[in-house]
Amino acid sequence: MQDGHGFWSDALGQRLLAALSAQDLAARWGMEESDNNGSAPPSVARLRGELLSWARADAEVQRWLMSVWREMHADVVNVVRQADIEDLAAQYDRLLAQFDPEDILLALISDEHDNGWELADWFIGSVRSDAQRRRLQKIMRRWREPDRAAHSRRVRVVIFGGHPRDESKMTRRLFERSAVEVIWKICDKKQRFEVLDDALRHADAVLIVTSQVSHTLMEGVKRCANLYRVPWRCIHKATDNQLKAALRELFPDVAQSLPPK
């Protein structure tokens, strides 16, 4: 997937996230810190997975992860920023004594003022040692490799509202052979829905059919979704066009598996 810096993959996202400890995430997201043993609480562990999932389709999240990484690796970023590519490559042996080769490449790739991937390719091509050049190329191939798991995974979407006939008709027509797993919660407008926690805990996204749920329930779903950092969208009716438009906005890649008509 292309991002604001040229390319994005899960392997790259995982490498950037690896620089963030549980304490870092807690401080930046206002979450509970890790326990005395240094292990991440479930909320932080879940947030790592959610950030990786969001970054697949959201360039803003990609840029945020890049900028956080640069902030936490100011030493290598400053060294790379102040040198010409040819000089940097000529000094590669000295750089390796100070920095990890992946960090050197990330300092180039994450450059927000230039095409970082082109800079990294230029740098690799200027490295004199064949063995070192092959090592760097192997790292770049891993970060550029298509995310097979991301393309094959199914996203779980909970839909609140609609008619019972919508569940049968829409599931068969739109979702049966798609990468979207839909869980319908058919609700009467006057009904109080008491199991929001269970419904949203493992959801990737939520759709609310506003014509078929009460205002109280709608606000409750939004609050619960925000608590679990689950993205939500409102649609007026559960029609093909409205469902597909909302899913395209939430999951651009996965929505390609939906039938065009």
For residue range 6-39, what is the model confidence (pLDDT) as tens digits? Answer: 578 888 988 998 887 777 777 776 555 444 443 3
pTM metric for this prediction: 0.54
Which secondary structure element, helix H or strand E, spans residue 80, and what is its range? helix 74-81
Same structural domain for residues 21 and 135? yes
Residue at 207 is within a domain: yes
State the chain's mean pLDDT as an integer.
80
Which of 144, 176, 207 is the last residue in one of the domains? 144
Chain segment 129-141, per-residue pLDDT in tens: 999 999 999 999 8
Residue 60: pLDDT band (50, 70, 90) is confident
Q: Comparing 146 with 196, which gets the higher pLDDT? A: 196
Same structural domain for residues 135 and 161? no
**Over the Cα atoms of the chain, what is R_g?**
22
User: How many domains does the structure of the chain reveal?
Assistant: 2
Residue at 1 is within a domain: no
| Minimum mean pLDDT range among 50-64, 107-121, 184-198 | 184-198
Cα distance between residue 183 and residue 155, in whole Å: 11
Range of the domain at 30: 10-144
Residue 107: pLDDT band (50, 70, 90) is very high
CB 124 within 8 A of CB 147: no
Same structural domain for residues 14 and 139? yes
Same structural domain for residues 139 and 191? no
Same structural domain for residues 28 and 89? yes
Beta strands in the chain (DSSP E): 155-160, 180-185, 205-209, 232-235
Nearest to 57 by CA among 258, 255, 260: 255
SS3 230: coil
CATH of the domain at 161: 3.40.50.1980
Residue at 252 is within a domain: yes
Same structural domain for residues 15 and 134? yes
Which of 93, 110, 144 is the last residue in one of the domains? 144
